[in-house]
Amino acid sequence: MIDMEFLKNPNLPEKEVKFCAVSQKADFAARFLSAQGVEIFQVSEQKNLPAPCAAHPDMRLCYLGEGRILADCGELAQSLEGFGLDAAVPVRSPKGIYPQDAVLNVLFLGKSLFCRTGSPQKPGVAEEILQFAEEKGISVYPVKQGYTRCSVCVVSERAIVTADLSISLAAEKAGVDVLRIQPGYISLPGYEYGFIGGCTGLLGPRLLAVCGCLESHPDGKRILDFAKGHGVEVLTVPTPDGRLWDIGGIVPLGEREL
C-alpha cells in the first residue's frame, strides 16, 4: 500500500487523495483513478441491498474520520481492516428496501451531520452514527431524504450541490452555500435516475472528480461555475456513454502524507 494517512474529516481531504472506495461495478472509474495514482478499494455487491446500488460505497459504508469506518457486514469490515482502517459493523445494517437500505447513507460536512434521523416506528440512520456525532460535538441536521450522501455533491466544507429541497434547506440553515439543481439527467440503471453525489467525490481540497460530462446535465454549466467560484477544479472521469453516472460516489479515505 502506498504511503498515506487517513482523512481527518469525511469527504474533505486536506491534501491529494491517494486511497478511495469505488463500486466494483464501476471499472471505468477504478481504471481512470488508478492511472491518476489513486489506490482503489473496490466495494463488492451486497445481496441484501437493491441490485442497482448493491455495490455502492455510499450504501455499504460510512467513513467517520481519522481512520474509523462503519461497514454493513463483517466481511466488508475485515477487508477494510486489511488496509489499516478501524472498521465496525452497526447493530442495524442496511438491507431491504428504502429507507431500511439507507442507514449508512449520511452526509458529514465538517462539524455538521445531515441525515434522516427517523422515528421509533420508522428508524433512520444507524444509532452508532448519531452516537459518534454526539461524542464529537457534531451538530445533527435532520432531513427527509434518506439517501442523503448520494444526493449531495460536496464541493467544500461550506459548499454543496443538490437537487433535494430538504437537504438544501438544512444546509443553508447550517451556513452552507447551496447550489440547487434539477433532479434527473443522471444514469443509474434500474432506477429512473441517479443522484449528483453518486457521480462525484473530492480528490483533493480543490479537485472534484465527476463521473461523466457535466455538459450532459441542463445545470452542468452552473455546477462548473459554482465549483470554480469556490476555487475547485472539476476533473471529468470518462463514462462509457459520456453521460453522468451514479456509481455510489468516489469516497476519499486516504491522502498524501506531508
- In this predicted structure, the answer to whether residue 120 has a pLDDT above a threshold of 70 is no
Does 119 have pLDDT greater than 80? Answer: no
Q: 15-53 pLDDT, tens per residue?
A: 999 999 999 999 999 999 999 999 999 999 999 999 999
- With cut-offs at 50, 70 and 90, classify the pLDDT of residue 197: very high
Q: With contact defined as beta carbons under 8 Å apart, do 237 and 247 qualify?
A: no
> What phi and psi, each to the nearest 5 degrees, are found at residue 70?
-105, 135
The pTM of the full predicted model, rounded to 2 decimals, is 0.96
> What is the rounded average pLDDT of the residues 198-217?
98
CB 22 within 8 A of CB 30: yes
How far apart are the C-alpha atoms of 213 and 200, rounded to whole Å?
11
Number of residues written out for the chain: 258
The rounded distance, in Å, linking the Cα atoms of 245 and 236 is 11
What is the phi/psi pair of residue 43, to 5°? Answer: -85, 125
Q: Cα(59)–Cα(55) distance, rounded to whole angstroms? A: 8
CA atoms within 13 A on the CB side of 77: 13
- Give tens-digit pLDDT for 65-113: 999 999 999 999 999 999 999 999 999 999 998 999 999 999 999 999 9
Domain boundaries, the chain: 4-256
What's the rounded Cα separation, in Å, for the pair 18 and 7?
10
Locus of grid cell 441542463: 218
pLDDT at 3: 79
**Whole-angstrom distance, CA of residue 115 vs CA of residue 7:** 21
Q: Are 193 and 186 in contact (CB under 8 A)?
A: yes
pLDDT at residue 2 in the model:
61
The CATH classification of domain 4-256, taken from the options 3.75.10.10, 3.40.190.10, 3.30.565.10, 1.10.150.20: 3.75.10.10
Report residue 216 as a C-alpha cell. Answer: 450532459
pLDDT of residue 123: 74
Dist CA 149 CA 33 (whole Å): 21
Q: For 149, which DSSP code?
A: G
- Residue 1: pLDDT above 90? no
CA–CA separation, 92 vs 125, rounded Å? Answer: 9
* Per-residue pLDDT band at 118 (split at 50, 70, 90): confident
pLDDT cut 70: percent of the chain above it: 98
- Cross-strand pairs, 87: 69
Is the CB of residue 102 less than 8 Å from the CB of residue 59?
yes
pLDDT per residue as tens digits for the range 149-187? 999 999 999 999 999 999 999 999 999 999 999 999 999
Torsion angle (degrees, nearest 10) of CA 197, 198, 203, 205: 10
